[in-house]
Every structure is written in structure tokens, then in C-alpha cells.
Structure 1
Amino acid sequence: MTKLKHRLKDLIIEALNLEDVAPEDLADDEALMDSGLGLDSIDALELVVRVEKEFSIKIKNSEEAREALGSINTLATFIQSRQGEVA
């Protein structure tokens, strides 16, 4: 597991107060929204705010957020691409 993916898992657990979930319980390719982890729109908004702050990136709109929050893998790829734009 990459450091970024591990940090994302910790961030998700912390931001959403998932007390009974450990980082290793979250699969890298498991859906975060809907049928996977089951985040609702409030959870997604909270996570977007935390990700933007933690990684100094901007998620432009709800469509982009939904794509980025597809899974741990898609979120990690999104963050790396955004950080690459800044660098």
C-alpha cells in the first residue's frame, strides 16, 4: 500500500468517524459512494473539504468530486494528477 493510499484511508476513517473500521478494511478498489463504503452526499462533502485542505488541491464541482471519490485508487490518482499540475 502506498503512503498516499494509507493516508487517504486514515483520512476517511478520521473525517467520517468510522470507529469500527481499520485502514486495512478499506479495499483500494472498493467504491466509496453508493454500494461500496456507502458514503452519502454529506459524507462526500466532508471528505472533499478534508482532501482539499490536506493535499492543497481544489475539486472544482460535484461531478469532479463524484469521479474522484470513486475509490481509494481513483482518489489517489486524482490527487497525484492535481499535485502534478501545481508542481
Structure 2
Amino acid sequence: MSELTQELKAKIIAQLNLEDLTVADLDDHTPLFGDGLGLDSIDALELIVMLDKSYGIKLSDPKEGRKVFETIQTMADFIEANRT
């Protein structure tokens, strides 16, 4: 699973143009929104596109998205359970 979290961190940094961050800067359990990375709704849309393109996962329910995008670890768990 740690390979997936490392891959996910790199994809998040690239997708969201977080050029001032490295994979090592991101903790698996840091909140992605709010006090953590401070991502916003536009970033959430970018993450939804990334899940679809990279892992074949389509999110349509906003409530599901809130749970999935809590942390990198929750994203990795969701991808592991739902990837095509």
C-alpha cells in the first residue's frame, strides 16, 4: 500500500501544481482540505479527474468525495478497493 500512497502523493503534486512540495513533505494522514494542505473545491475537481484518468474510478456523489478526499490514506484505501 505504501507504493500506492507514494504514487498518489506524486500525482497530487503534479495534478495540483504544488511545486513547493515534495512527496516527502506529504504525510499519509494530513487532511487534504481545511487546516491540512488547504485544498479548495477546484482542487477537488482536479482530484476527481485524476481518479478517473489514472485509476478508472468515477465519483459522482459529493458526500462520497468528502470521505474519499479526507487524507492521502483514505484516497489510497478507496483506490485499492475500487480501481478497475
Aligned to 1:46: 46
Aligned-partner Cα distance in 2 for 1:47–1:76: 12
Aligned to 1:11: 11
Aligned-partner Cα distance in 1 for 2:47–2:56: 13
Deviation at 1:51, TM superposition (A): 1.5
Instruction: Kindly tell me the number of residue pairs found equivalent between the two proteins.
Output: 84
Deviation at 1:66, TM superposition (A): 1.1
The ranges of structure 1 where at least 4 consecutive aligned residues each deviate by more than 4 angstroms after the TM superposition are none
Deviation at 1:45, TM superposition (A): 0.7
TM-score by length of 2: 0.93
Aligned-partner Cα distance in 2 for 1:69–1:60: 13
Note the residue ranges of structure 2 that are not aligned, 5 or more in a row. Answer: none
- Partner AA of 2:13 in structure 1: I
Residues 29-70 of structure 1 show CA distances to partners (whole Å, capped at 9, x for unaligned) of 000011100110000111111112101112122111111000
- Partner AA of 2:37 in structure 1: L
TM-score by length of 1: 0.90
Over the matched positions of the two proteins, sequence identity in percent amounts to 45
